[in-house]
Chain A
Amino acid sequence: MKLLLIINCIFSFCFISKLNSQSLSELEKKYFNVKSVFEKESFRLDSLKQVLQSRSKQIESEKQNQYPDEDKIIDLMRNSVTLANQVSKYQDIVDAKESELKNLSKALVSAYSARIDSLMLLKKSSKRNANDYDSEILYYVEKRLSVSPQLNLLSFNPQKILAIDLSKAKSEEEKILLREYLDKAANEVDDLLKTVTKQSDEAELALNLQKKTSKFLAETEFDRDLGPSHFAVQSERSANQTLTEGNSALDPLSERAVSYTLLINQLNIIQKPESITKSNLRQDFQTPNMNLNEYSKLLKEVKQKLADYKSILTSKLLRSR
Chain B
Amino acid sequence: MNWSINSEGGFFNSSQSNSWQTDNLVLRLDGNFNYNYSKENISAFVKFKIRPEIYGTENSFKALKMKISANYSQQGDNLNWGTNLTAQKNFYKNNMADFSYSIFFLSLFSDLYQFENLTISPKAGYSYQTASENIELNLDFLFVEVSISKSFFKGNSIGAGFYFEKFTIENNYIERLTDQNNKNSGLRYGPVLSFNYLRQGAFQFEYRFLFHNSQVTKQPSVENWYRLLAGMIIEDYWSVFILADYYDRRFTLKQNDPLQNYLIYNPLDAENKVNLKLAREICESVELYAKAGYFKESYFDSKFDFEGWNILLGIDLSY
- B51, B90, B241: residue with the most chain A Cβ atoms closer than 10 Å: B241
- B65, B154, B201, B208: residue with the most chain A Cβ atoms closer than 10 Å: B154
**A205-B233, A212-B231, A237-B121 given as contacts; is B198 within 8 A of A229 (CB)?**
no
Instruction: Flag if A216 contacts B277 (CB, 8 Å).
Output: yes
Chain A residues positioned under 8 Å from B163 (CB to CB)? 228
Judged by a CB distance under 8 angstroms, whether B269 is at the interface is yes
| In the complex, number of A-B residue pairs with CB atoms less than 8 Å apart | 147
Judged by a CB distance under 8 angstroms, whether A129 is at the interface is no
Known: A205-B200, A223-B268, A227-B267. 20 other contacts (CB 8 A): A209-B231, A209-B233, A212-B233, A213-B202, A213-B229, A216-B241, A219-B30, A220-B277, A223-B103, A226-B268, A229-B269, A233-B84, A235-B204, A237-B111, A242-B157, A247-B119, A248-B116, A250-B116, A287-B75, A287-B76
- Among the 9-residue stretches B18-26, B142-150, B170-178, B250-258, the one with 4 or more Cβ atoms under 8 Å from chain A is B142-150
Judged by a CB distance under 8 angstroms, whether A180 is at the interface is no
**A222-B65, A248-B113 given as contacts; is B88 within 8 A of A228 (CB)?**
no
**A209-B202, A216-B241, A289-B75 given as contacts; is B155 within 8 A of A229 (CB)?**
no
**A228-B163, A287-B77 given as contacts; is B233 within 8 A of A222 (CB)?**
no
Query: What are 28 inter-chain pairs, A to B, with CB distance below 8 A?
Result: A202-B199, A205-B233, A212-B241, A212-B279, A213-B202, A216-B231, A217-B243, A218-B49, A222-B49, A222-B65, A226-B86, A226-B103, A227-B268, A227-B269, A228-B125, A231-B229, A235-B202, A238-B149, A238-B157, A238-B198, A239-B198, A241-B196, A242-B198, A245-B154, A247-B151, A248-B117, A283-B40, A287-B76
Instruction: Flag if A223 contacts B269 (CB, 8 Å).
Output: no
Of residues 45 through 91 on chain B, the ones whose CB sits less than 8 Å from some CB of chain A are 49, 51, 65, 67, 75-77, 80, 84, 86, 88, 90
Instruction: Flag if A213 contacts B231 (CB, 8 Å).
Output: yes
Of the residues A217, A218, A291, contact of B229 by C-beta under 8 Å:
A217
Closest 8 CB pairs of A and B: A238-B196, A248-B116, A246-B117, A247-B113, A216-B241, A242-B198, A241-B157, A226-B105
Chain B residues positioned under 8 Å from A220 (CB to CB)? 243, 273, 275, 277, 293
Smallest Cβ-Cβ distance to B43: which chain A residue: A291
Judged by a CB distance under 8 angstroms, whether B41 is at the interface is yes
Instruction: Flag if A251 contacts B6 (CB, 8 Å).
Output: no
Judged by a CB distance under 8 angstroms, whether B225 is at the interface is yes
- B30, B77, B118, B198: residue with the most chain A Cβ atoms closer than 10 Å: B198
- A231, A235, A238: residue with the most chain B Cβ atoms closer than 10 Å: A238
Judged by a CB distance under 8 angstroms, whether A286 is at the interface is yes
Of residues 257 through 299 on chain B, the ones whose CB sits less than 8 Å from some CB of chain A are 267-269, 271, 273, 275, 277, 279, 293
Instruction: Flag if B65 contacts A223 (CB, 8 Å).
Output: yes
Instruction: Flag if A208 contacts B77 (CB, 8 Å).
Output: no
Judged by a CB distance under 8 angstroms, whether B156 is at the interface is yes
Instruction: Flag if A246 contacts B151 (CB, 8 Å).
Output: yes
Smallest Cβ-Cβ distance to B8: which chain A residue: A219
Chain B residues positioned under 8 Å from A206 (CB to CB)? 198-199
In the bound complex, what is the Cα–Cα distance between A234 and B109 (angstroms)?
10
Instruction: Flag if B241 contacts A213 (CB, 8 Å).
Output: yes
Judged by a CB distance under 8 angstroms, whether B206 is at the interface is yes
- A218, A222, A243: residue with the most chain B Cβ atoms closer than 10 Å: A222
Instruction: Flag if A235 contacts B151 (CB, 8 Å).
Output: no
Of the residues B6, B80, B243, contact of A289 by C-beta under 8 Å:
B80
Minimal beta-carbon separation of A253 from chain B (angstroms) = 8
Chain A residues positioned under 8 Å from B86 (CB to CB)? 226
Judged by a CB distance under 8 angstroms, whether B224 is at the interface is no
Chain A residues positioned under 8 Å from B271 (CB to CB)? 224
Judged by a CB distance under 8 angstroms, whether A160 is at the interface is no
Of residues 183 through 216 on chain A, the ones whose CB sits less than 8 Å from some CB of chain B are 202, 205-206, 208-210, 212-213, 216
Instruction: Flag if B113 contacts A212 (CB, 8 Å).
Output: no
Chain A residues positioned under 8 Å from B268 (CB to CB)? 223-224, 226-227
Judged by a CB distance under 8 angstroms, whether B232 is at the interface is yes
In the bound complex, what is the Cα–Cα distance between A292 and B231 (angstroms)?
18
Of residues 170 through 212 on chain B, the ones whose CB sits less than 8 Å from some CB of chain A are 194, 196-202, 204, 206, 208
Instruction: Flag if A246 contacts B150 (CB, 8 Å).
Output: yes
Instruction: Flag if A216 contacts B77 (CB, 8 Å).
Output: no
In the bound complex, what is the Cα–Cα distance between A146 and B84 (angstroms)?
41
In the bound complex, what is the Cα–Cα distance between A147 and B200 (angstroms)?
36
Judged by a CB distance under 8 angstroms, whether A230 is at the interface is yes
Chain A residues positioned under 8 Å from B103 (CB to CB)? 223, 226
Of residues 7 through 48 on chain B, the ones whose CB sits less than 8 Å from some CB of chain A are 30, 40-41
Smallest Cβ-Cβ distance to A220: which chain B residue: B275
Instruction: Flag if A241 contacts B233 (CB, 8 Å).
Output: no
Minimal beta-carbon separation of A205 from chain B (angstroms) = 7
In the bound complex, what is the Cα–Cα distance between A241 and B199 (angstroms)?
12
